[in-house]
Structure 1
């Protein structure tokens, strides 16, 4: 058999085989990653096959004097074409998106847009430990008994801001009071649609008018501090009740201490 006939037959056979590899690779690229492809679909294998094809065709087409050169050129061209035919051109798979960064991908997230840093459950919704309908990160009264009806602050009734105390006979907050109000401010910032009442109360020591003014000044002092922590002043209403709404007797130190208080409630 002549050299040209042999080369052409070899080339034709390898073209058929390479075409099959490339076709199979193309069909499978959309369904699986390149690491899952069959060995004969790998670009390296296709490149080797293409090199044999190109070399065979180059050898067959060349004259007796330049058959080595033709084979070399054909091998290089065939290897390049073969590798390109079997290259994985399928688009790279994008990782699942988690737009709000809460650890639950968008496809499974039933509460998209959760604020950064808020703890969520398996479906991406903020935790509500007491089940009152107000998420923990907004709840001013965590631990509400099951079934209790609460306001937008998560409280059954107005919240007494315990340990929010003032300097003696003044409206100046103590350092401990400021630390407590920092936590209140954080939850109010996280609950921007809620307006609040801040009520000041005193014991019965001193004149009624003096206690009225002092209670108003203390309520205003709390609002000013919360505003300084990022709570919009338009969301707060301050009221001073003086000594008019005691919750305990004014005849004992303990009772008077309970009456000197600041309360936080929903302003409807």
Structure 2
């Protein structure tokens, strides 16, 4: 496992990874080699966003939150807490394009790539900002949860490129909601590239389904 790194300034990172506008698409180009290097090299606990290569950051987040006085959930209160949060998320995200799925005590928000980002870009779609604001409103009301932000792509292009794109997109979402009051110590950001498809990559529809960012909301337990 590569050592997890703390994001000093996600916005500076995203800006540094940009190159001039593509004359054909009108979209900012990104230097993928530079972006990947920056993501792995950034250090310094400024914003506190935890970017890792896998899912082994739970103990670190739990210790930080509980040490800061955020109480852990216990017993039957966990289900009720997550039920109320799920209901509010469903109300806020109705007709937004974001799906809300419940898996045990975990809530999964699926942010489709085609509505969250411009094509082949990690820049948030301006029309989607209001949706993320709605997500942040609810998440701020329920601070006793851990938030995993997972980036995923289809298998078009090289695996290296897709890995870097998935990381940048997850960082964009994590950075934005942290700027809306979410305690960054709750977040763990991981890019999975093309390794975790949920649909068939041999079809246009399947590839569209696979291009996504997921926010996984889990109760803070001891």
TM-score normalised according to structure 2 size = 0.52
Structure 1 stretches of at least 4 aligned residues deviating more than 6 Å after TM superposition: none
Question: SS at 2:209's partner residue?
Answer: helix
> Per-residue deviation at 1:232?
1.4
1:140 and 2:92 matched: no
Question: SS at 1:197's partner residue?
Answer: strand
> Per-residue deviation at 1:266?
2.8
CA offsets 1:212-239 (integer angstroms, 9 cap, x no match): 0110110000000101111111111111
Whether the 8 Å contact between 1:141 and 1:159 is mirrored in structure 2 is no
1:161 and 2:161 matched: no
Whether the 8 Å contact between 1:220 and 1:238 is mirrored in structure 2 is yes
Question: SS at 1:195's partner residue?
Answer: strand
Whether the 8 Å contact between 2:82 and 2:105 is mirrored in structure 1 is no
| 1:44-55 map, 5 Å | none
Question: SS at 1:221's partner residue?
Answer: helix
Counterpart residue number, 1:235:
186
Cα separation, partners in 2 of 1:208 and 1:133, compared to 1, 3 Å = closer
Question: SS at 1:159's partner residue?
Answer: strand
| Structure 1 unpaired stretches of 5+ | 1-130
> Larger RCO: Structure 1 or Structure 2 (Cα < 8 Å, ≥ 6 residues apart)?
2
Whether the 8 Å contact between 2:85 and 2:142 is mirrored in structure 1 is no
| 1:1-268 map, 5 Å | 134-135=83-84, 139-141=88-90, 150-151=104-105, 155=107, 158-162=108-112, 164-267=115-218
> Per-residue deviation at 1:133?
5.8
Question: SS at 1:248's partner residue?
Answer: coil
| Structure 2 unpaired stretches of 5+ | 1-79, 95-101
CA offsets 1:112-163 (integer angstroms, 9 cap, x no match): xxxxxxxxxxxxxxxxxxx8863258743469xxxx87426xx3xx221246
Q: CA RMSD in A?
A: 2.6
Whether the 8 Å contact between 1:219 and 1:240 is mirrored in structure 2 is yes
Whether the 8 Å contact between 1:203 and 1:256 is mirrored in structure 2 is yes
> Per-residue deviation at 1:170?
1.4
Number of residue-to-residue matches in the alignment:
130
Select the structure of larger CA radius of gyration. Answer: 1
Counterpart residue number, 2:74:
none
TM-score normalised according to structure 1 size = 0.44
> Per-residue deviation at 1:175?
1.5
Richer in strand (by share): 2
1:174 & 1:237 partners in 2: Cα distance? 22
2:115 & 2:177 partners in 1: Cα distance? 13
